[in-house]
């Protein structure tokens, strides 16, 4: 699975690593789309109107979505 991040007008694909999932309790029946929602809640903070975007907590850009492999 890859995360799609927007930083300075460029989109970047970032592979999900075990370090990114530390502190997340995984269920056995989680599919890729559910995992994307879980990672979004764990790794980003939502900034409402007028921005309406999920910003990464570590400041690496905006979380746009995920690509399931």
As a whole number, mean pLDDT of residues 39-49 equals: 94
Q: What is the pTM of this model?
A: 0.84
In three-state secondary structure terms, 68 is coil
As a whole number, mean pLDDT of residues 30-44 equals: 92
For residue 27, the model assigns a pLDDT of 73
Of 23-27, 33-37, 48-52, 55-59, which range is least confident? 23-27
As a whole number, mean pLDDT of residues 7-33 equals: 88
Name the nearest CA neighbour of 30 among 22, 21, 38.
38
Provide the domain count of the chain.
1
For residue 42, the model assigns a pLDDT of 94
**C-alpha to C-alpha distance for 39 and 67, rounded to whole angstroms:** 12
Range of the domain at 50: 2-67
Between 28 and 50, where is the model more confident? 50
């Amino acid at each position: 699975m890859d995360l799609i991040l927007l930083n300075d007008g460029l989109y970047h694909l970032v592979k999900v690593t075990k370090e990114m999932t530390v502190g997340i309790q995984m269920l056995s029946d989680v599919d890729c789309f559910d995992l994307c929602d879980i990672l979004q809640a764990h790794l980003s903070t939502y900034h409402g109107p007028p921005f309406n975007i999920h910003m990464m907590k570590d400041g690496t850009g905006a979380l746009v979505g995920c690509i399931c492999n």
